[in-house]
Amino acid sequence: LTVLALDLSWLQKRTNHTEQPVADKLKAAKGLIDSAIKTTRSIMQDLRPTLLDDVGIAAAIRWQSEECAKRNGIACKTELFDEQAKLDKMCSISLFRILQEALTNITRHAQASEVRIALRLSDGGVALEVVDNGIGIAPDAAHKPMSHGLTGMRERVRRLGGRIVIAAPSGGGTRIEVVLPAATVHTGDASAIDAGEVKAGDHSFTSLSIVSR
């Protein structure tokens, strides 16, 4: 549906204004698709992806990144922890949905050619990082909670007592980091931790900030 909506937007921009009946039809079709996308997302928010049950969060993220690459022509690189480590069910769902929202935003808005996705564990918890090389996000986006799905991301993180930071690096692109507390991770096996330790910090509150660096 998202790809179809993007195709219709492309057609709308290239439709001659003198062809008003065609433009009206495209606008109506775009409205129906946008409505269907919203309805589908609303339904999906309350459903647990069966993929998480079948293969686990790390493999599910790898699959999602591969799908994004195939459908949108964006190079997706992943760095994932040992799949023997287990996360709390709500933690897995939240991280997977946040990744989906982030990839949707990148596809629709970022004009990126590459995305790096990392899922790391440490004694402090679990961290998901999504970095793209696109046009970046405006600093005032933090004051527009309905923009780019930030409200949904923030709410998911808040429920688990974590934190989310969205940064606009000076070199361009956007970096999203979500850190969830150790209580959501079920592993005491140090071998399950990949290289690159993540410090979870204080999880007694949820923060959402847009940082320009």
Per-residue pLDDT at 194:
30
Per-residue pLDDT at 212:
36
Domain check: are 23 and 121 in the same one? no
The least confident of 76-85, 98-107, 178-187 is 178-187
Residue 205 has pLDDT above 60, yes or no: no
Flag whether 182 is in a domain. Answer: yes
Domain check: are 93 and 180 in the same one? yes
Per-residue pLDDT at 198:
30
Domain check: are 41 and 89 in the same one? no
Flag whether 187 is in a domain. Answer: yes
Domain check: are 31 and 83 in the same one? no
Residue 166 has pLDDT above 80, yes or no: yes
Confidence of residue 207 (pLDDT cuts 50, 70, 90): very low
pLDDT tens sequence across 127-158: 999 999 999 987 776 556 446 577 888 888 99
Per-residue pLDDT at 114:
97
Residue 201 has pLDDT above 60, yes or no: no
Q: Domain with 167 in it: what CATH number?
A: 3.30.565.10
In this prediction, what percent of the chain has a pLDDT beyond 70? 72
DSSP characters over the chain: -HHHHHHHHHHHHTS-TT-HHHHHHHHHHHHHHHHHHHHHHHHHHTS--HHHHHH-HHHHHHHHHHHHHHHH--EEEEEE--TT-EE-HHHHHHHHHHHHHHHHHIIIII--SEEEEEEEEETTEEEEEEEE-SS---GGGGG-TTGGGHHHHHHHHHHTT-EEEEEE-TTSSEEEEEEEEGGGEE---GGGPPSS-------SS--EEEEE-
Domain check: are 147 and 194 in the same one? yes
Domain check: are 73 and 142 in the same one? yes
Q: Domain span at residue 32?
A: 1-47
Give every CB contact of residue 190 below 8 A, 6+ residues apart in sequence: none
Domain check: are 119 and 158 in the same one? yes
Residue 59 has pLDDT above 60, yes or no: yes
Domain check: are 96 and 188 in the same one? yes
Do residues 142 and 210 touch, judged by C-beta distance below 8 A?
yes
Domain check: are 159 and 187 in the same one? yes
Domain check: are 25 and 83 in the same one? no
Please give the biggest Cα pair distance in the chain. Answer: 67
Residue 103 has pLDDT above 70, yes or no: yes
pTM: 0.66
Flag whether 52 is in a domain. Answer: no
Distance CA 23, CA 35 (A): 18
Confidence of residue 48 (pLDDT cuts 50, 70, 90): low
Flag whether 146 is in a domain. Answer: yes
Residue 37 has pLDDT above 70, yes or no: yes
Domain check: are 164 and 191 in the same one? yes
**Chain centroid to CA 179: how far?**
13
Structurally, the chain folds into a number of domains equal to 2
The four Cα atoms 88, 53, 151, 8 give a dihedral, to 10 degrees, of 170
Domain check: are 108 and 32 in the same one? no
